[in-house]
Structures are given as C-alpha cells and as structure tokens.
Structure 1
Amino acid sequence: MADTLHLVDVLDRHNSSRDVWADRGYHDRPCERWLKPIGWRPHIQREGKAGKPIGVRDQARNRRIASPRARVEHIFASLAQMGGKAIRGIGLARAEFGLTFKSAVYNLKRMTSPLEMA
C-alpha cells in the first residue's frame, strides 16, 4: 500500500516543528487544506499532469522545497546503499540493533568527510 495514503497517521502532534516537508507524491490539495487549519505548515512539492505541466511559479516553489529535503534524502540514500532497512535476523531487538548499527556507521562515515577535507 502506498505510504502517501498515511500522511496524517505519521504526523507527530507533539513535535515542536509544525512544518511538513514532502515530495510530489504527497501533493493533494484537500490534504493541504486540511493541514493548515490544524496548525501544520505544508511544504509539499507540486506535480504536473499529463499534458499540463506546472507553471514557472510552482517550479520555483519546488526548487525551494527540494533544497532542505535533499539533506534528508541523502541520508536515506546512503542507508539504502548499505542494504536499506533489510535486516537478516529474528526478533525486534536484533532488527533494532541492526538499524542502530547502520545509523552509527553512517554517522562515522559522515564524521570522516570533514576530516578528509581539512
């Protein structure tokens, strides 16, 4: 099932940031209209339709939204290169350990980048 159908379910109402960043797959005007009155600030990219491309203004908006999203997407891409969320093992504790270990490896890899540049 598409994760775009569960946007509302994953929003953390206790989060201090009220910004919602999403790509074109989450573009749904009724959903955006629903988010604003309850205090969320949607930053969802616009999507063109077949035969009707998006305008210059929406293209500029997509670029503005893409910049902060790229910083997060690079992390997920790097984790995907390490095998993604697939963990071979039985039990939740082992799966959590595997994902925590992958995250630690990613952080160590990132830490070495500034050291190599210096």
Structure 2
Amino acid sequence: MSDANEADTLHLVDVLDRSNSSRDFWADRGYHDRPRERWLHLIGWRPSIQRKGQAGKPIGERDKARNKRLASPRAGVEYVFASLARMGGKAVRSIGLARAESGLTLKSAVYNLKRMSSLLEMA
C-alpha cells in the first residue's frame, strides 16, 4: 500500500512475488513501456501488458486485438475490483496509511465473506 499521490508503477519491484511458480505478469495499459517489458523479460517474467497509444497517435488494429485478447482473462480479476467499488471503492477516508490499510483489509474481508456465502449457496 502506498500514498495516493504515488503511481502504482513506482512499486512494481515491491509487489513482484519471485516465489510464485507462475512467471506470467498481467497488467493494464498503465504499465506499458518498452524498458519495463525488457526488464521483466531479463528477470524471467512473461509480460502480458496491454498496449496504449502515444499522444496524438492511436494504437493500431493489431494492438487493439492484442488488448482484447489480454483483457479476457483479466475480466475475472476485474470483477473483484468492481465488487469493491460497489462497496465504496478503494477510497478510504482516514488519516494515515495504517488506518487506510486497515479499512481496505476490512473491505476485502467483507468481500471474501460475501463471496463465500454465495459459493456455499450454490453447493
């Protein structure tokens, strides 16, 4: 967790789990830049990062098709974030990083409990 005024991309090194058996790295357009992709390749990851257009130059059809292909598996993960957004989003009104982290942890626990109850109903 970091301050709101810091970009998530600044903390990429901190969130990579090198003990993870999967070496796939999935990310949205915000993480796209050539040096970052080369670095991920060098340290053994397989980046699946969506492309973004440059200023005044939209992405081509090939990159649009690639983005669509990469978006499909990510949709299941995005569902979790949409559920959290319906519960008030990632914004937590508190002072201090520790309190904000506690608030997001509680929201995540509530989501997990709701998900578990829906799964138990199906069984």
TM-score, normalisation: structure 1 = 0.76
Out of 63, 70, 83, which is 1:78 matched to? Answer: 83
Out of 22, 36, 39, which is 2:41 matched to? Answer: 36
Q: Matches of 1:4 and 1:101 in 2, distance apart?
A: 25
Compare 102-111 and 31-40 and name the one that shifted more. 102-111
Cα deviations by residue, 1:38-83 (Å, 9 ceiling, x for unpaired): 1100000000123211111111110111111121111012112213
CA 100–25 in structure 1, closer or farther in 2 if over 3 Å, else same: closer
Higher relative contact order (CA 8 A, sep 6+): 2
SS, match of residue 12 in structure 2: helix
Name 2:3's counterpart in structure 1.
Answer: none
Q: Matches of 2:85 and 2:68 in 1, distance apart?
A: 24
Q: Matches of 2:47 and 2:118 in 1, distance apart?
A: 35
Compare 103-112 and 22-31 and name the one that shifted more. 103-112
CA 114–65 in structure 1, closer or farther in 2 if over 3 Å, else same: farther
Name 1:20's counterpart in structure 2.
Answer: 25
Q: Matches of 1:78 and 1:107 in 2, distance apart?
A: 10
SS, match of residue 22 in structure 2: coil
Q: Percent identity?
A: 71
Q: What amino acid is the match of 1:78?
A: S
Q: Counterparts in 2 of 1:37-116, with a 5 A limit?
A: 37-85=42-90, 86=92, 96=102, 99=104, 101-110=106-115, 111-112=117-118
- How many residue pairs align between the two structures? 116
